[in-house]
Amino acid sequence: MGLGYVLCSSMMMVVNKLALRAFPYPSSLMALQFLVSAVVVRGLGVLGQLECAPLERERVRAFWIVPLVFEVAIFTNMKMLQAASVETVIVFRTLVPLITSWADAAFMGREAPSTRSALSLLAIVLSALGYAGTSSGGLRVDVWMWAITYLTVLAFEMVYVKHVRRAQSRRNSRRNSLGAISAQFCAMI
């Protein structure tokens, strides 16, 4: 399952980069992708091939911001892909664990990274800065703007989803299907 996610995630970045070259409208491209995803999920649910949790008012109220932030993350990813290479997006994406580990410790009461982990995170940051400093043409202001926005949104999404899921699991012992909820939310819109 994890390998499938990695393959899909990395391929989507390359496919989106190619799609943006042919169709340079990130908002429209993203809307089309969400529409197709929602139709496929809804269709598989109707055909009984996919178990979709029904939308419940309490769950929607708790999770409404998750699909919104997810959409903003996808949009910033598209804008970054439009402004920079796939490699640059990957380099900046590797910085997300640095932010989330700090945010987990600061806002969720989790343990701060150990010295060894902190040194590894520092190595990631230094490597990313080294890449940025040596990339051909350097990094433009628009790339930095989208990169910082992308990092912030991804880190917020990851920490917030953990917070919401933890709060939901306290209230409800059933497992929540975040992917199905997000897709159904997009289908409702």
- pTM greater than 0.85 (yes/no): no
Q: What is the dihedral of CA 78, 81, 84, 89, to 10 degrees?
A: 100
In the chain the beta strands, taken as DSSP E runs, fall at: none
Query: pLDDT in tens for each of the 189 residues of the chain?
Result: 677 777 777 788 888 889 999 999 999 998 998 899 888 988 998 898 888 877 788 878 877 888 888 889 889 989 988 888 888 888 888 888 888 888 888 877 888 888 898 898 888 888 877 877 776 666 677 888 888 898 888 888 888 877 766 766 666 544 444 454 444 444 443
Q: Around 101, how many Cα atoms within 13 Å sit in the side-chain half-sphere?
A: 15
Q: What is the DSSP letter of 50?
A: S
What would the two tokens of residue 175 be? Answer: 């497992």
